[in-house]
Structure 1
Amino acid sequence: MPDSALSSPAAPAPPLHDVLIVGGGLVGASLAIALDRIGVEVGLVEAAPRGALPAVFDERNLSFAEATVNALGALGVLAKLRAPGGAIERIHVSRAGDFGRGVLEAARYGRREFGRVVVARDFGEALEARLGELARLTRYRPCRFLGLAASDGAVRAVRVADADGERTLRARLLVGADGADSAVRAALGIRAERHDYGQTLFVTRLRCARAPDGTAYERLGEHGPTALLPRGDRHYGLIHGVAADEADAVAALDEAAFLARAQHAFGWRAGRFLACGARGAYPAQRVLAARTTDARAVLVGNAAQALHPIGAQGFNLGLRDALTLAELIEQARRADPQADCGDPALLRAYAERRRDDRARTLAFSDGLARLSASPAGALRPLRSLGLFALDRLPAVQAYLVGGAMGYRGDVPALCRGEAA
């Protein structure tokens, strides 16, 4: 609609949604599906045009915790995957230069697996297929969030731009799911603390002499992890951390030289590294919003907190953000079908429920990244003792297994395999 029509006295009021989600990536799309399931009218502002996936759906390998697998199964997303993910039946942790290693076995805890590995591109296609089935979703694409607009307190009004120019959208609740550099967070005036780990992580598909056997390897090092994740296509997903100031040189290596470098960092537990696919490179940073809610607004996923990928906690944490919000809205609607999705009490309840999981997951990810990367010789005995404890002490294992499977704090019912 042209700007002139919007300003005309006869122009219709801007669209009003129960919830307006800015960001159609992993968490934003999952939230839209969860909300449609409970009858909420949702608007989804997406940068990617029709027929294209957001850039986040690339060759990265996503490690879904058991809680995430439960939830995505209930939401009908996993059924849309064209190929099954790879099962994580055990987790093997070691650190270059330190003694010991820790091995977690799912079978010890009565589980077939801790979770599954899914290629981000495949997951994006599954989400897109599921979004196409939603009856109450309005998609604005390609569309760009510009900022907030004046509103009366009963709604949040935002300015967006699409092919027809600038327009205004309104919602009872605005959700920022637009990534670590969130424009919604900035527009709300929410401060974000940033920490650069000085590492760049290269990701690719890797073929080894031995096919995956269900083991996920995390080989920690001074410049980040070198991890192998068992995919469902007889390949591994490789994550190889390097010092940020070496990233350009590593990116310039040919395939053979890159494989030799990664092999040296990882070792020979999976046999010889034979071939890899196209490589992507991503800086390792921590971004933490000072708060996750504002008047009629909430931040989820990387807009609320972006983690170092060590331990594969990021998307799993963000999905629990989204599903907790959806669960609270569903509970409010059960009590009152006309319940306001942006009610201050609901947002206070959301922040309270997410506090423990968020704090503990952030502390685990950041602590592991800093401790494992430190070259200080005095820390080696402590790290070796920690690996010994991980391998031998049931109480330590049980604590870490619960977190690895996504069960920290008060998790949503869908994550527990229950109806919300």
Structure 2
Amino acid sequence: MKQYDVVIAGGAMTGASLALALDTLSKGNLRIAVVEAVSPEQTGHPGYDARSIAMSLGSVRLMEQLGLWSFLAGEATAISRIHVSDRGHPGLARMSASEYGISALGYVIELAQAGSVFLEQLSKRAAIDLFCPARIHTLHREQDVVSLQLTNGESLQASLLVAADGGVSGCCAQLGIGHQSLDFEQVAVIANISTALSHQGEAFERFTPFGPLALLPMSQGRSSLVWCISPEQQQEVMGWDDETFLAQLQSSFGWRMGKMVKTGQRFVYPLSLRQAERRVSHRFAVVGNAAQTLHPIAGQGFNLGLRDVVTLAEEVVAGYQAGEDPGSTAILSRFRQRREPDQAATVAMTTCLVKLFANEHWPLVAGRNAGLMAMSVMDTIKAPLMKRAMGQVDR
């Protein structure tokens, strides 16, 4: 049976980031295993598929501290401006990096490209073992260890098991840790879009009768589309040919980037808020989407998960260096206490935005447009939202 300090279930961006953070902060003194079901190079990997993520400035700073940003920077597209509007209404807000004296408000990372970067980094760390393809078949917790049997026949023991295995966590299910769910009654249509005019680093969030629509700047002049629609519209929208899809998107978005000229393959994902009922348990912690899966409206999901990751790594390494067991109750309690305020505030913000902007009742429409107009002229309103959007929050 192989012995580890920490075993991480899930090797996509959250799990890989945690492994690399633990290794970096401990200077290679912690023994770490990552158990991942699907090779990152495999087409259709659920953690490294066609989607992109908006990485906040705060997340970039965390990656820099861990020495990881230099490996991702070449794959990133800077967000220099953000344009928020409500179709058919006067509300409009603009934000730019120059307002805040910074080079970018955030960056867009393509998950498929990030997968190869993280896989390469994991392979270079002597203290990290990657078990892939493999899943945790059974797990058993004792007072001092967690014993794991993998689907590939390997047996592992660890002081701490961390679930970073996505919104429907197999580890949580095995341990009887349930989730609270809120169905947003929306699905997200994802595609990469080419337009006649360059995005020039501008990101757009537009609220339409279909639902929120975001276009994020990508490499080669493309934009990453996230278009939230009702489940009843899914079959119709996914059934459109490319020409019809682009025409409907043009009608909803407008002409700020000229003609919509090309779309890549479309994917669709159901949208809900899922929160683990417990973030920590005996020798067990939950991070990233396994802890909370958010609506993509404000691009906060990975950024919130990364703050989980770095905080857990800090507490585990600090405790280990002080002679504590990496899976001790004291370490996990400190992690939970540090993370609860940020998690609650970010979940509340994104959920309120969904409810506000997915509703076409006139009083809410008038209120949100007044808010957008106020944001455009009053920094006291815009600053707190921008601070959280840029990930500049306490951990």
Interval of TM-score (by shorter of Structure 1 and Structure 2): over 0.9
Q: Distance in 2 between the 1:170 and 1:314 partners?
A: 30
- TM-aligned CA deviation for residue 222 of structure 1: 4.0
Cα distance in 2, alignment partners of residues 50 and 227 from structure 1: 26
Secondary structure (helix, strand or coil) at the match of 1:233 reads helix
* Kept after mapping to 1: 8 A contact 2:40/2:119: no
Q: 1:138 maps to what in 2? A: 129
- Structure 1 residue 400 displacement after superposition: 1.2
Aligned to 1:57: 48
Name the aligned partner's letter for residue 58 of structure 1. Answer: D
Identity %: 35
Amino acid at match of 2:367: L
The answer as to whether partners of 1:90 and 1:105 remain within 8 angstroms in 2 is yes
1:370 aligns with 2:355: yes
Q: 2-side partners of 1:85 and 1:201: how far apart?
A: 23
- Contact preservation (8 Å) 2:191, 2:264: yes
Structure-2 residue corresponding to 1:152: 142
Q: Which structure 2 residues correspond to residues 226-241 of structure 1 after superposition, within 5 A?
A: 226-241=213-228
Instruction: Find the aligned partners of 1:215 and 1:403 in 2 and give their Cα distance.
Output: 19
Partner residue in 1 for 2:290 = 303
**Deviation of the 1:281 alpha carbon:** 1.2
C-alpha distance in 2 between matches for 1:344 and 1:81: 34
SS in 2 for 1:217: strand
Query: AA paired with 2:350?
Result: S
- Check if 1:282 corresponds to 2:273: no
User: Equivalent residue for 2:392?
Assistant: 407
Gaps of 5+ in 2: none
C-alpha displacement of 1:240 = 1.5
Deviation of the 1:123 alpha carbon: 0.9
Moved over 6 A (4+): none
- Whether 1:213 aligns to 2:204 is no
TM-score normalised according to structure 2 size: 0.95
What do the CA deviations read for 1:6-46 (whole angstroms, capped 9, x no partner)? xxxxxxxx222100100111100110111111232111111
> In the aligned structure 2, how far is the partner of 1:206 from the partner of 1:248?
20
Q: Is the 8 A contact 1:229 1:238 kept in 2?
A: yes
Runs (5+) with no aligned partner, structure 1: 1-13, 411-420
Report whether the alignment pairs 1:385 with 2:376. no
User: How far is 1:128 from its partner?
Assistant: 1.0
Aligned position for 2:111: 120
Q: 198-207 vs 46-55, which deviates more?
A: 46-55
The 2-side partners of 1:201 and 1:320 are apart by 24
Change (3 A) 1:51 1:62: closer
* 1:312 paired to 2:299: yes
Aligned match of 1:355: 340
1:291 is aligned to 2:281: no
Residue deviations 1:302-332, cap 9 Å, x none? 1000000111000111111011000112222
CA apart distance, 1:403: 0.7
Q: Structure 2: how far apart are the matches of 1:229 and 1:32?
A: 28
Distance in 2 between residues matched to 1:152 and 1:244, nearest whole Å: 44
Q: Distance in 2 between matches of 1:50 and 1:395?
A: 43
Letter in 2 for 1:294: S
Q: Distance in 2 between matches of 1:31 and 1:136?
A: 13
- 1:346 maps to what in 2? 331
| Cα distance, 1:75–1:233 mapped onto 2, change above 3 Å | farther
Equivalent position of 2:187 in the other structure: 200
One-letter amino acid matched to 1:394: D
Rounded Cα–Cα distance in structure 2 between residues aligned with 1:203 and 1:49 = 22
Q: How many angstroms apart in 1 are the aligned matches of 2:77 and 2:217?
A: 5
CA distance in 2, matches of 1:125, 1:86: 17
2:288 touches 2:302 (CA, 8 Å); kept in 1?
Answer: yes
CA distance in 2, matches of 1:381, 1:272: 30
Counterpart residue number, 2:31: 41
Match of 1:255 in 2: 242
Q: How large is the Cα RMSD of the aligned pairs?
A: 1.7
Report the CA distance between 1:82 and its aligned residue. 8.5
Q: Which residue of 2 aligns with 1:86?
A: 77
